[in-house]
Chain A
Amino acid sequence: MNTTTTMGIQARHQAELNAGHFLIQHCGGCDRHVYFPREVCPHCGSGALHLVPPRGTGTVYATTTVRRKAEAGGDYNVVLIDLDEGVRLMSRVEGVAPADVIIGQRVQARVAVKDGVGLVVFDAVAGEGA
Chain B
Amino acid sequence: MNATLKALRGSAAIAGVATFGCGEAPGFIDMELLARSARAAVADAGLKMSDIDGLCTASVAATMWPMPVIEHLGINPRYIDGTMLGGSSFIAHLLPAMHALHAGQCNAVLVCYGSAQRSGAFSRAEIARARKFLDPQPYETPYEPMLPPSAYALAASRHMHQYGTTRRDLAEVAVAARAWARLNPEAFMRDPLSMDDVLASRMVSDPLSVRDCCLVTDGGGAYVLVRADRARDLPKPPVYVLGNGTAVWNRQISSMPDLTVTAASQSGADAYAMAGLQAKDIDVVQLYDAFTINTLLFLEDLGFCAKGEGGAFVRDGAIAPGGRLPVNTNGGGLSCVHPGMYGIFALIEAVRQLRGACGERQVAGANTAIAHGNGGTLSSQSTAILGTAAAL
A-side interface residues toward B, CB under 8 Å? 10, 36, 61-67, 76, 78-80, 88-92, 99, 103-104, 119
Please tell me if the beta carbons of B205 and A92 are within 8 angstroms of each other in the complex: no
Are A99 and B206 also in contact (CB < 8 A) when A64-B150, A80-B154, A90-B139 are? yes
Q: Which residue of A lies closest to B207 (CB)?
A: A64
Are A63 and B154 also in contact (CB < 8 A) when A89-B139, A90-B143 are? yes
Partner of A67, one of B158, B204, B252: B204
Please tell me if the beta carbons of B144 and A66 are within 8 angstroms of each other in the complex: yes
Separation of A61 and B262 alpha carbons in the complex (Å): 16
Separation of A42 and B153 alpha carbons in the complex (Å): 26
Are A64 and B158 also in contact (CB < 8 A) when A10-B138, A89-B139, A89-B254 are? no
Please tell me if the beta carbons of A78 and B157 are within 8 angstroms of each other in the complex: no
Q: Which residue of A lies closest to B209 (CB)?
A: A67
Tell me, yes or no, whether B61 is within 8 Å of chain A by CB: no
Q: Which residue of A lies closest to B257 (CB)?
A: A88
Contacts of B140 in A (CB 8 A): 90
Residue total for B at the interface (Cβ-Cβ under 8 A): 27
Tell me, yes or no, whether B104 is within 8 Å of chain A by CB: no
Q: Which residue of A lies closest to B141 (CB)?
A: A90
Please tell me if the beta carbons of B205 and A64 are within 8 angstroms of each other in the complex: yes
Separation of A36 and B143 alpha carbons in the complex (Å): 14
Tell me, yes or no, whether B161 is within 8 Å of chain A by CB: yes
Contacts of A62 in B (CB 8 A): 154-155, 157-158, 161, 259
Contacts of A90 in B (CB 8 A): 139-140, 143, 145, 252-254
Tell me, yes or no, whether B142 is within 8 Å of chain A by CB: yes
**B:232-263 near A, CB below 8 Å:** 252-255, 259
Select the residue from A62, A67, A76, A92 with max chain B CB neighbours within 10 A.
Answer: A62
Q: Jot down 26 A-B pairs with beta carbons below 8 A, ordered by A.
A: A61-B259, A62-B155, A62-B158, A63-B157, A64-B205, A65-B206, A66-B144, A66-B205, A67-B202, A67-B204, A76-B144, A78-B144, A78-B145, A78-B150, A78-B154, A80-B253, A80-B254, A88-B254, A88-B255, A89-B139, A89-B254, A90-B143, A90-B145, A91-B143, A99-B206, A103-B157
Separation of A36 and B202 alpha carbons in the complex (Å): 33
Please tell me if the beta carbons of A64 and B254 are within 8 angstroms of each other in the complex: no
Are A103 and B158 also in contact (CB < 8 A) when A62-B259, A64-B205, A67-B205 are? yes
Chain A facing B: main interface SS: strand
Separation of A78 and B143 alpha carbons in the complex (Å): 7
Contacts of B155 in A (CB 8 A): 62
Separation of A67 and B206 alpha carbons in the complex (Å): 8
Partner of A92, one of B143, B204, B208, B254: B143
From residue A9, how far is it (CB to closest CB) to chain B in Å?
A: 11
Select the residue from B157, B205, B255 with max chain A CB neighbours within 10 A.
Answer: B157
Binary contact readout B73-116 vs A (1 if CB under 8 angstroms, 0 otherwise): 00000000000000000000000000000000000000000000
Are A64 and B143 also in contact (CB < 8 A) when A78-B154, A90-B254, A103-B157 are? no
B-side interface residues toward A, CB under 8 Å? 138-140, 142-146, 150, 153-155, 157-158, 161, 202-208, 252-255, 259
Please tell me if the beta carbons of A61 and B158 are within 8 angstroms of each other in the complex: yes
Separation of A98 and B153 alpha carbons in the complex (Å): 14
Separation of A9 and B305 alpha carbons in the complex (Å): 43
Q: Which residue of A lies closest to B139 (CB)?
A: A36
Separation of A91 and B142 alpha carbons in the complex (Å): 9
Q: Beyond the given A63-B154, A64-B207, A90-B253, could you list 15 further A-B residue pairs with CB under 8 A, ordered by the A residue number?
A: A10-B138, A36-B254, A62-B154, A64-B150, A64-B157, A65-B206, A66-B144, A66-B146, A67-B202, A67-B206, A76-B144, A78-B205, A80-B253, A88-B255, A90-B139
Contacts of A76 in B (CB 8 A): 144
Contacts of B144 in A (CB 8 A): 66, 76, 78
Please tell me if the beta carbons of A64 and B153 are within 8 angstroms of each other in the complex: yes
Partner of B206, one of A64, A92, A104: A64
From residue A17, how far is it (CB to closest CB) to chain B in Å?
A: 10
Contacts of A104 in B (CB 8 A): 161
Contacts of B208 in A (CB 8 A): 64
Separation of A107 and B143 alpha carbons in the complex (Å): 17
Separation of A79 and B161 alpha carbons in the complex (Å): 14
Separation of A61 and B260 alpha carbons in the complex (Å): 11
Contacts of B139 in A (CB 8 A): 36, 89-90
Separation of A76 and B145 alpha carbons in the complex (Å): 9
Q: Which residue of A lies closest to B136 (CB)?
A: A10
Separation of A90 and B255 alpha carbons in the complex (Å): 9
Contacts of B143 in A (CB 8 A): 78, 90-92
Contacts of B158 in A (CB 8 A): 61-62, 103
